[in-house]
Amino acid sequence: MKSDIKQWIKTCTKCQISTCGKIATEELHPLISVAAFHRWSLDFIGQLPLTEQGNRWILVAIDHTTKWPIAKAVP
């Protein structure tokens, strides 16, 4: 089955156009936090239906050390 998939990808025009090539990979390193609330991860949730307050997104922040989450609705 693996060889069939490889052959299909080699002959598929769409696959050839959308292929980005080999991606160089680097060794992963842990993110070190020196104290609580020192390093944060941020992400957006949405696009959501418009609220009466005019918000469409939720901004989420999570502290790396304590895993403390904060969420705030934003326009």
pLDDT cut 70: percent of the chain above it: 95
User: Measured between alpha carbons, how far is 17 from 23 in angstroms, rounded to an integer?
Assistant: 16
Residue with tokens 């307050």: 53
User: Is the pLDDT score of 1 beyond 80?
Assistant: yes
User: Measured between alpha carbons, how far is 66 from 63 in angstroms, rounded to an integer?
Assistant: 6
Boundaries of every domain in the chain:
36-75
Element (H, E) at 20: none
Q: What is the pTM of this model?
A: 0.58
Give residue-wise pLDDT tens across range 18-75.
766 667 788 888 888 889 999 999 999 989 999 999 999 999 999 999 999 999 999 9
End-to-end Cα, the chain, rounded Å: 48
